[in-house]
Structure formats: structure tokens, C-alpha cells
Chain A
């Protein structure tokens, strides 16, 4: 990919370009020089890069404000070059809401893992979605708590062995995994929800498209966009990276099918509001026109 743009002034020392040379491939502007602290084979690094590429390609780095989660990506405020805020565990959607309400013209995204988004922060997740906050949420689902050392997550699979389900997740006692994309797709607020994976080149390309679209939707005022990335955790799954990808394909993808769960634009609407109104066509009060 050719990068025609020059680097921002504060980054010009980063890459030396000699006369007659052209950048063909480079670290995205939106990623800092900091070395990732992720384990080998973890897909966080890939997803960070995809987010940064999307920000670069849309030319929105200077206008973007990101919210970091608590979890393995807790320090991604150091990895992204845009302004960043570190949130309390699970509260990123609420923090993002506060930021977006102050700066409706800025691009605001939250990057969260499964414990953060689907357990301690479920209320914040569901309500930011149903409010249709104009934010972009990137959700890493690797079926385990990584940073704390491999405990059962809200998305851990039935019978999956973790530190806190040492005999395997017993659904008769601790219940079932949550499929967040499906759950959020029942709400009127979201404009776009897609589940992707980063285990193959083809899937990574699809993930990139989805992430870029999730940001583009915000630029275009379409509404709340959510991309779930089915991911691996070789360290806490106790597998080699390659075996982890195999396990993902064998066990996670059947439980968490990839695909688009909601896309109001593809459904022919301008935004989430239009789709919600159509769904409530028989409810008179929901059809009342509001003053701007």
C-alpha cells in the first residue's frame, strides 16, 4: 500500500525517506512506536493495526479520541497516536458517551475485551448501544480473562477449562456464554454489528473491512457500530499460536458464527433511527415527528 501522505511534524524523525524513495509499506500513522506487550500469537496486535489503518485511511487520526479498557489491551493508550482515555473496567462505553456528547464532531471509539464488555460492563455496553451513541466499539472475544491469568469469561465455551472452571465450564451451574453480537442486534440503537475473526488472511481482510466500516459509519453519522473479533489467547488457552487458531476454528466459530448481524444501511435506511422507526411502524407514539 503506497502512503502518499507525509508524516505529521512530530513524527518526522520516525522514518527517513531518501530522495527518489517512496514508502510502500509502513507502520500506520495512528500507531505509535511503542512495542506491543501482547503475547506471541495473540490477535490483539493485528486488531490494533487494523484499527490504526482504518483511522489512517479515513484521515481521522487528529480527530479521533479512543477509550482504553481494563484487560490485556489496558495500555493501548500508549499504542495509538490519537488522544486516549483510560477507563475503569467495563465503563468504556460510558466514558465514550461523555466524550462524544462534548465533541459530537470527533470520532470516538472504545476498544474492549470480553470480561470488560460482556461481564462487568454489560449495562454500559447495552445502554450505550440502545441509546445509539454515535461511537465505534471494537470487541475482542477470546473466551477468557487474559491479563488476570486465564479465568472463565462470560464468553468461555461450555466445558472450556479455565483457572476458575478447572473441571470445564459447567453450564448447569454457571450458565451459558453470551453472544454479544446477537444480543445487541435485537436493539434498535445500533446501526451496524458484525462478527469477524483474525485467524486467516481472508478473515483479516474481512475484519479490516468491518472495522473500517464501523469508523466510516461514525464519520457519516449512521450510528452506533460494533465489531466483535473472535480472537485467540494461546497463553491462557495453553496452546501454541497455531493450535489456538485451530481451536478457534473448531470450537469458537461454530458457537460464534461470523457475519453481519445488523446493517441498517444495507437494509436500505439512512441510519439507525430510520430502521428503528420502520420496525415500530405500528406504534403511533413511536412515529411522532420530533422538532430538530
Chain B
């Protein structure tokens, strides 16, 4: 991650998170965007509509989210870096296409700038699609890398990474952002622009046989059970590789922490403020911020517990979803609790601080009056 303050000022620009997703995607070599309007991701599509035609790319407003993801499937099958973006209700519609992409091993990037749900929900920041993103968002037995930016800089870094992971492991990949990171402007150092021609070739893609090879087939249909099982097993071997090599997280004030707040995206920012205040009060609390939601950074959780962390509190903008992964990773070795707000309501740092103080008292890690002086 580029450090905001160590980069020369002249290389930093002030941009909206949604626009940065678009700009960095193009720099990653994406030339094909298919989408459908929905708040709060609209700036991304608008930016693409303006810029893509100028660099020889295609922006196409599809008739539906379903069509959009299937256009991504087609463009991805044809060998190109392609993407779509939406917000929660629209992402539900993409589930079918994402399942086909996973089943046919077609890379592509899906952006979800989350809003509140279920149903039409609201348009304020939310993290209520954690389950949908990390638990196979369509039918069938599959996963995909899910990256959760917490700054505008990470919007750039992680969508760049998402395209690389998608190609390397032949899988759809998702950016799970929220209305806060999407709408806000922060300074960002943009990644270098890559020529799509310079990207690794995809010999499996449907680009025409030119009468020089057997035909390529991009397909997810296997009517012989054994063949389907073999195909799925091969894919899960790739998932194991991803789990072994791609877990990413940021640790903040975690070295000596009795308590770790586990939070991603928008909620991690609020938690960070609360953690500073708790430290001022002498509570040994830190932050474990998952950057990859799938694969979930369970190794880091385990290391933290090995290092003496006694309690993990998952802070989310939902009714408690990631906490299940925290619990699975902790495997009964640490106290796991949850605090969340939902519907687009954001917790204040004070609220989280109250939770930290209560937790510290409950597990016997509250600073003594003496330590606080």
C-alpha cells in the first residue's frame, strides 16, 4: 500500500473512491465495462462512460444487471479484462452470472459498493452483503477472492490486485466496498497504466481457432458426475493455493493487544479512531483489518491468539456476519463478540469505545486506576 504521507505531493490526486476504482481498473488493463445504473456506485460507471471510449475501450450500459454480468462473462471468455459494478440489490442479480464465471473458470471483476438491505433497503453505507460475497454469491460450490478497501488509496490498489488475482487463478474476483469509501475523496497515488497487450496471454480463451488449433470451449456443463467432481476438485485445489498465499490484513496497535477489533472497510476507520481513544485510556486494544474477506485472514487471527490476544470483537455495519468467520478462525481459543449498526447507521467512535471498555472489564483487561494515570 502506498503510504499517503511518504509519496511526493505532486503524485497525489484528490479523487472520489468510485472514480478511483474506474481509473485504476483501466490502468490495470481493463477495457470493457458493462453495468446498470444504481446508487451509490454511479460515479464509477459515469467515469468509465467518459474515459473508456478515449482509450479504445467499450462502455456499455446493459439492459439489466443480469445482462451486464453475462457480457462480462462473454468478454472474459474472449480473453479480455472486463468488469461490472453495482450496489447490493443489483449485485443479487449478478449471482447467476458469477456462478457461471466460477464454473467456467472465466476471470472478471465485480464491484459491489454496498448499501443497506434486505430488499431495496437504503442507500447509506452498509456491509450487509458480507455473506453474499464470501459464501458463493450464486448457486453451486464455489468461492472467489473478495477484497475490501478501507481507503480511496486501497480502492486503487485492490482493484488492480483483483484483476491480477482473477487472471492468475481464473476466477471472478470482487471488490466489496461501501457508500462511504465510494463517495468520499481522499488523496491517492494511482498505479501505473498497463498496456492490455502486455498482459499474460490466455491460450484457453475463445479468440477464434484461426484453423491452427482445436477449438476452445468455455463451459460449466458436466453431465457426468465424476467429471464434474473432478473439475470442482481441481478448482478447490486452486482455492487452497489462494488461501495459502493471498490472505491479507492490516494490523494496527496489535503487537501487545489483549483485545483485537476485527473490522473491514468503513467500520474499520471508525474503529481505528475508537482504538486510539481506548489506548489513551490505557486499554491494550488493536485492530485486525481483513483486506481479503475471502480468503479470510485466519492465519493472522491465530497468530494474534498465539501472541496473547484474549478477545476478538467483530465490528460490522450489519447484524453480525463476519463474526462467524472470526469465530471459526478463533476456534474457541479466544473470546469472540460482535458489535454492529445496520441500515446505513454508522457507529460513532464513542459507541465503539464504550464496547471496548465493557469488553475489557468483562475479560479482566481493564486498566487499573493506577495504570490509567
Contacts and interface: CB of A to CB of B under 8 A. Distances in A.
A–B contact with Cβ pairs below 8 Å: the answer is: yes
Interface stretch (A56-64, A234-242, A281-289): A56-64
A101 B75 contact: yes
B63 A82 contact: no
A8 B211 contact: yes
Contacts of A86: 104, 217-221
Interface string A45-71: 000000000000000011111011000
A134 interface: no
Interface in A175-213: none
B93 to A, nearest CB: 11
Interface string A4-20: 00001110000000000
B210 interface: yes
A126 B64 CA distance: 12
Contact of B71 (A80, A84, A88, A98): A98
A97 B59 CA distance: 12
B208 A95 contact: no
Contacts of B75: 98-99, 101-102
A217 B77 CA distance: 24
Nearest to A104: B58
A96 B58 CA distance: 14
B70 A87 contact: yes
B143 interface: no
A103 B218 contact: no
B199 to A, nearest CB: 13
Contacts of B130: none
A173 B212 CA distance: 54
Interface stretch (B4-12, B43-51, B78-86, B182-190): B78-86
B348 interface: no
Given A85-B219, A101-B60, A101-B75, A10 B206 contact: no
A95 B71 CA distance: 5
B3 interface: no
How many chain B residues sit at the interface, stated as a range, is: 35 or more
Contacts of B63: 123-124, 126-127
B264 interface: no
B102 to A, nearest CB: 12
Contact of B78 (A10, A88, A99): A99
Interface residues of A, number: 39
Given A62-B208, A88-B96, A102-B32, A94 B70 contact: yes
A65 B68 CA distance: 19
Q: Which of A75, A82, A91 has the most CB of B within 10 A?
A: A91
B32 A101 contact: yes
Given A97-B71, A124-B63, A103 B214 contact: no
Given A98-B70, A99-B77, A83 B64 contact: no
Given A98-B71, A101-B71, A102-B80, A63 B210 contact: yes
B217 A97 contact: no
Given A83-B209, A86-B104, A102-B79, A94 B66 contact: yes
Q: Which of A8, A10, A94 has the most CB of B within 10 A?
A: A94
Nearest to B218: A85
Interface string B178-213: 000000000000000000000000000011111111
Given A84-B206, A86-B218, A86-B220, A103 B78 contact: yes
A5 to B, nearest CB: 10
Given A82-B208, A123-B63, A124-B63, A98 B82 contact: yes
5 contacts: A62-B208, A83-B208, A85-B219, A88-B73, A95-B77
Interface of A: 8-10, 32, 61-65, 67-68, 74-75, 77-78, 80-88, 91, 94-99, 101-103, 106, 123-124, 126-127
